[in-house]
Structure 1
Amino acid sequence: MKHTPEVHTVPDIKLFAGNATPALAKKIADRLFCKLGDAAVGVFSDGEISVQINENVRGADVFIIQSTCAPTNDNLMELIVMVDALRRASAGRITAVIPYFGYARQDRRVRSARVPITAKVVADFLSSVGVDRVLTCDLHAEQIQGFFDVPVDNVFGSPVLLEDMLSKNLDNPVVVSPDIGGVVRARAIAKLLDDSDLAIIDKRRPRANVAQVMHIIGDVQGRDCIIVDDMIDTGGTLCKAAEALKEHGANRVFAYATHPVFSGNAAKNIAESVIDEVIVTDTIPLNKDIEALEKVTQLSMSAVLAEAIRRVSNEESISAMFKH
């Protein structure tokens, strides 16, 4: 896999940002040597979203940078209304850059339960207002790309996370998948990390956001363990996983995830856990309680996303970014 890319100027695009990830949007703009577009994005007195585009976008290649993280519904509506405003202002092409795609965990009907497939609803919503394509990062389930009627590019946080892993001076590392569903992701990281061994945590989840770690599949005795996942939510599963690894003789335990959701008691769970360090990216801003934790480190996805934007604008390959 290639290292974090160097990005060159793209003078003929326009970048706009909502209120979800302003710091990340600014970093992306800086890497592309351009300024964020002039838009007033706020709320009316009754809470409705207010958007006004204050510059000419006619015929422009426009990218809107907006994660649909908490407050999820507000950020989603901001994105939707911004797309509509830009479409009505005759933007040539609109790409929704969604570093963290909210509602992605509601992607199927488990055992035919009477529940919505909300990821599909959001995909239809975005397509219906005039999004021409979507650029996102580490979708919870890659098949969500098929929910859209427009092209979707799903880039990965692994180049950013891998660089940090390689700087850790790891002792006989083993990459750990926190569940069976994450084995493909963990195996890919293990291959890139000098073809390291793989371990799997077998757990059962009695209800949402609660998980019971059962046992470890693989050898972790006396080894540095790297847990990899796409996101960390309450951190309950992660902390129990780390405890199980330590009980099985693991040396240090590092947790890597692209999306720092960190809801509920996440700060308390992580602070009281045996995890040595939690490493995440900036697809979602950290809340103050998480920022205060010394064991949490945040890396930036700005270089990867900026290069992806440049490639989309220039009609170049996105997959070539991740070949090794």
Structure 2
Amino acid sequence: MSFNAMPYGPLGLVALESSRELGEKVDYHLKQKRLLKVDESESFLVTTDAIRFSNGEGKVRLEETARGKDIYILCDVGNYSCTYDMFGMTHFMGPDEHFQDIKRTISAIGGKARRVTVIMPMLYESRQHKRKGRESLDCALALQELERLGVKDIYTFDVHDPNVHNAIPLSTFENLYPTYEIVKSFIKQEDLVIDKTKMITISPDTGAMDRAIYYSSVMGLDIGLFYKRRDYTTVVKGKNPIVQHEYIGKDVEGMDVLIVDDMIASGESIFDIATELKKRKAKRIFAATTFALFTEGIKKFDEFYEKGLIDRVYSTNLTYLPPEAKSAEWFREVDMSEFLATVIDYINRDKSISPLIDATESIKKLVRE
């Protein structure tokens, strides 16, 4: 056996309640990679029990030992479906409570693991990554806290600003992208002609321009940009409201459009852009995103789909997706469990994950085929 293929230690996967479903899928693929029986008798999952007291206090208990294991803690800090009873009322967990459970899990391990790696697909407080005036630096503080607790490796997806790694320069901080899986799902499920005369990639704002440039270059398409004009004199729900979307780019008449972004929150930007594109006589409109949060529900997405303003939304299962969205005609879920299992398998064997990070050639081959 090659020394590069020797495991760092016995693999243990801790899928917290927020990532239970995704964790079970990752475990399934890990068992396939390690040629284990794909049943419940063998599993890489380390069972945990998150206990909540009636006043809201909590603790995490490990149901089996983590001694000597290479532990991977998987947590979806954006899962708003997790609940517990507090003072007789149902309380929905937020990002702060999910992050606290990560720390509780590390504390329960108690330094017995050979290595602890945290996988947060949606990075905790990633929007609060830099200071503008008198405000907190939540993301940097959280990363430093994990480092102090003994976490050496942190893996996340499509982080708002990768420069937040500067907060923990001596620790591993890997920012992964689901581009290949999204493009593969998009191409396989849609009847497309991927040609710059038939299709165009659109960036919904200047912040997403790098992502859109990457999509357009690997797919051989042209790119367009919508610039958000905001009213900086007022603040609504923590942000300056958008006054108008200004378009910069080639004519989209008769063309299929792919809008790419890291996140869909309420969806207002997508709705405004889709409306503007339809005014310019665009043909079909698709949206691809890493995280679909649907913070204000899916009713308006249903309405835009019925009116023919949006054809499809592609998003990963890296964060919680409500059942009504998963079953909607306009929505397509991109499963990332096999990719995550591959990443964990590589790390556990101390193999470089560079081939997984750069999917350029794989996407180009996919487009050609």
TM-score (structure 2 length as normaliser) = 0.80
Please name the residue that 1:18 is paired with.
16
For 2:166 and 2:344, locate their aligned partners in 1 and report how far apart those are by CA, in whole Å: 21
Return the alpha-carbon distance in structure 2 between the equivalents of residues 216 and 188 of structure 1: 19
Q: CA deviation at 1:53?
A: 0.9
Query: RMSD between aligned alpha carbons?
Result: 2.0
- The equivalent residue for 2:115 is 93
Q: Which residue type is aligned with residue 164 of structure 1?
A: S
Name the amino acid aligned to 1:192.
V
Cα gap change, 1:92/1:44 in structure 2, threshold over 3 Å: closer, same or farther? same
- How far did 1:235 drift? 0.7
Equivalent position of 1:272 in the other structure? 303
Match of 2:165 in 1: 145
Instruction: Assess, with a 3 A threshold, how the Cα gap between structure 1 residues 90 and 130 changes in structure 2: closer, same or farther.
Output: same
**Does 2:326 match 1:291?**
yes
Which residue pairs with 1:312 in the alignment? 347
Pairs within 5 Å for 1:1-324: 12-33=10-31, 34-69=43-78, 70=80, 71-86=94-109, 88=110, 90-110=112-132, 113-148=133-168, 149-167=170-188, 168-171=190-193, 172-193=198-219, 195-206=220-231, 207=235, 208=239, 210-219=241-250, 220-263=252-295, 265-273=296-304, 274-321=309-356, 322-323=358-359, 324=361
* Aligned-partner Cα distance in 1 for 2:241–2:291: 19
Tell me, in whole angstroms, the C-alpha distance in 2 between the residues paired with 1:38 and 1:216. 51
Shift of 1:179: 0.4
- Report the Cα distance in structure 2 between the residues aligned to 1:108 and 1:36, rounded to whole angstroms: 36
Deviation at 1:259, TM superposition (A): 1.0
Letter in 1 for 2:185: D
In structure 2, distance between residues paired with 1:213 and 1:294: 29
Cα distance per residue 1:266-289 (max 9 Å; x no partner): 412322222111110011111244
The Cα offsets for residues 139-164 of structure 1, whole Å up to 9 and x where unpaired, read as 11121222225211111110110102
Letter in 1 for 2:227: D
The aligned amino acid for 1:236 is E
- Report SS of the residue matched to 1:68: coil
- How far residue 18 of structure 1 moved from its aligned partner, in angstroms, is 0.8
The C-alpha deviation readout for 1:243-272, integer Å capped at 9, x for no partner, is 111111111000100112221x24123222
TM-score between the two structures when normalised by the length of structure 1: 0.90
Where in structure 1 are there 5+ consecutive unaligned residues? 1-7
The one-letter amino acid of 2:59's match is S
CA separation of 1:26/1:282 partners in 2, compared to 1, >3 Å: closer, same or farther? same
Displacement of 1:177 in angstroms is 0.6
Once superposed, which parts of structure 1, at least 4 consecutive aligned residues long, lie more than 4 Å away? 8-11
Q: How many residues align?
A: 312
Q: Kindly indicate whether the alpha-carbon contact (under 8 Å) linking 2:317 and 2:335 is maintained by their aligned counterparts in 1.
A: yes
Structure 2: unaligned runs, 5 residues or longer:
32-42, 81-93, 362-369
Contact 1:213/1:237, CA 8 A, preserved across alignment:
no
Greater mean alpha carbon deviation, residues 122-131 or residues 275-284 = 122-131
Q: Give the Cα–Cα distance (whole angstroms) in 2 for the partners of residues 125 and 254 of structure 1.
A: 39
**Distance in 1, Cα, partners of 2:325 & 2:124:** 20
**Contact 1:57 1:89 survives alignment (8 Å):** no
Find the aligned partners of 2:201 and 2:54 in 1 and give their Cα distance. Answer: 50
- Residues 104, 119 of structure 1: 8 Å contact kept: yes
Do the aligned partners of residues 238 and 127 (structure 1) sit closer, same or farther apart at CA in structure 2, a change above 3 Å counting?
same
CA contact (8 A) 1:68 1:100 kept: yes
Greater C-alpha Rg? 2
SS state of the match for residue 320, structure 2?
Answer: coil
